[in-house]
A and B are shown apart, each in its own frame.
Chain A
Amino acid sequence: MSTLFESRPVWAERPSLPARAAKNTVLAVVTVVILLPIYVVVLTSLSPASAVNAAGGLVVVPGGISFRAYADLFSGGVVTRAVLVSLGVTAVGTLVSLTATILAAYGLSRPGSLLHRPLLFAVLLTFLFAPGMIPLYLLVSDLGLIDSYASLILPTAVNAFNLVVMRAFFMNLPGEIADSARIDGAGEWTILTRLVLPMSKGVTAVVGLFYAVGYWNAFFNAILYINDNAKWPLQLILRQYVQQGQQISSNSLIGNAVQGTASAPNLAVQMAIVVVALVPVTIIYPLVQKHFTKGVIIGAVKG
């Protein structure tokens, strides 16, 4: 593959100077377009009132550092609560999703086993149509799940695509090891936990990341199912106080710890909420990135 070459292959001509300049310019522009908004948001969230006022809004040139906005956010008000809700839903949801997905992917990884075809068909059929927003809402409502955290987890707990990717990966594992374990008397549960899972760390990390990001970013199911704003996840707070620009500087919203003292500028607080929504994703994702091609592409494309 071309990506193996650290240097230019001997047969390739060196590109002309304008060509190289054009290529590097495009790459630089792409990088700046992606990183600049993030840089501005992070910098503004860390800026003291003087810098925000001097800039007349978003801060592009650093003018001092202040963690005041974050202190305000994490002093026990709505944002603190929303972060805890989002973290909790993400952690529990990812665990539920991964467990159900791994089990089913393994259970369906052996063609010819009992009910293999109809069950697999039932999973694949979900690719073809979505149930529709209204009937799903009525079902969640009839099950009494409105305003429960379960409503943010169960309806999206199993993603057929992730299940199929995982199954394809399991089916590509060498079968001989499992066969010999079986001859030695190992049951399916032992084979799954002791043999298959240790060989599947990459794909588990990738599928887990997909689920976790899905839960962390989930927005619309909370709009539908959560009326009680004490149970709002972070994305709804982000929408209300940043995208829709509702004032957050009132003390009841931020918590009592900082009452009476000069608070951080509203814009810095808003940008700090953006950063809080952004940080977990940007921390976890590079750790998993190296598995994207190894785990998923190989599982899906060559599977």
Chain B
Amino acid sequence: MTERATAVAPAPDRPSPPARRRGTGRPGRGASLRARWRRDRSLLLMTVPAIGLLAVFHYVPTLGNVIAFQQYNPWDGVVGSPWVGLYQFERLFTDPRFWNAVGNTLVIASVQLVFFFPVPIALAILLDSVLSRRMRLVLQSIVYMPHFFSWVLVVTLFQQILGGAGLISQSLRGAGYAPLDMMTNPDAFLMVVTSQMVWKDAGWGTIIFLAALAAIDQNLYESAAVDGAGRWRRMWHITLPGLRPVIVLLLILKLGDILNVGFEQFYLQRDAFGSGVSEVLDTYVYHQTLVTGNFSAGAAAGLIKGVVGLVLILIANKMAHLMGEHGVYRRS
């Protein structure tokens, strides 16, 4: 549930070239442990707060997933609760609501891929073609802004426009037509949630493509123009190939992240649209557990999602490496 999918996520860890490595005049890796301790102890001390927080709030609860193999109850704790082997998983796999959540998650992810993914690319090319620098900055401020709004805020704004008491219904009623409530109609669900995603994050998604566009050598355009290539041919033969590495990378990362369609957005609209269309894996975990009190069943569902997600990320990175990209981590 941590927010890790920001637009600038790829290539977070590229080591600097060796020439820039700092501390060249100091004892290197070959120095004795004591000398290295004396030299680096303040650096080590600095990492303690962050490493400690990650250990307590990331690694310990990761180990806590063992309750998926128990019939956990809060009074006996992890140590005292009885072990039940794969019972929770067997129950899960026979629960139609679990498969409903899996199906919804995959449908939503596919719709995102087809209808959300291309939007930032097109928008970035459009913004890049705006000649006035001032105008472009203003437009960028506007399109980035919704990324910083919370999902509660975005859903509320959509309700005020598309809901039964919203602006569109209000205008329809004023003009003598029947109001149209799109925010509770299960048939409109996919359209509504996709529009919300586009509204909130398509602008922010342009950042990475704008950076890639800015990196394209302008001389290519000039030579092409001199050779008689028109606007569209230049876009096809220069702009799009220039964006290709970023597009491929983000596409692969998206495939690795396919089970993470978002959580709050669906939690917030589950009651309005019904769990039939809006239940995704994360909301299933929440409702199974904290509503019914069966922690182990929820942990089992969460664990399955985590393991499948991990495998997908590893596959996606393998693909990225095979295609000559860096992926989210390096093998070095």
Contacts and interface: CB of A to CB of B under 8 A. Distances in A.
Contact of B142 (A35, A127, A165, A223): A35
Interface residues on A, range: 35 or more
A23 B143 CA distance: 16
B61 A132 contact: yes
Contacts of B21: 110-112, 175
B326 to A, nearest CB: 10
Contacts of A12: 221, 225
Contact of B49 (A100, A127, A213, A239): A100
Greatest chain A CB density within 10 A among B22, B28, B146 is at B22
Contacts of B313: 128
B192 interface: no
Contacts of B72: 138
A17 interface: no
B50 A155 contact: no
Interface string B249-269: 000000000000001100110
Nearest to A115: B44
Contacts of B58: 126, 131
B4 A9 contact: no
Interface stretch (A64-72, A156-164, A254-262): A156-164
A35 B144 CA distance: 12
A217 B159 contact: no
19 contacts: A3-B133, A12-B225, A41-B157, A58-B170, A104-B47, A107-B45, A113-B43, A132-B302, A155-B57, A158-B50, A161-B4, A171-B20, A175-B21, A187-B42, A188-B42, A238-B150, A238-B152, A296-B8, A301-B8
Interface of B: 1-4, 6, 8-16, 20-26, 28-29, 33, 36-37, 39-47, 49-51, 53-65, 67, 72, 74, 77-78, 123, 126, 128-133, 136, 139-146, 148-153, 155-161, 165-167, 170, 173-174, 199, 203, 207-208, 210-211, 213-216, 218, 221-222, 225-226, 230-231, 263-264, 267-268, 282, 285-286, 289-290, 295, 298-299, 302-303, 306, 309-310, 313-314, 328-329
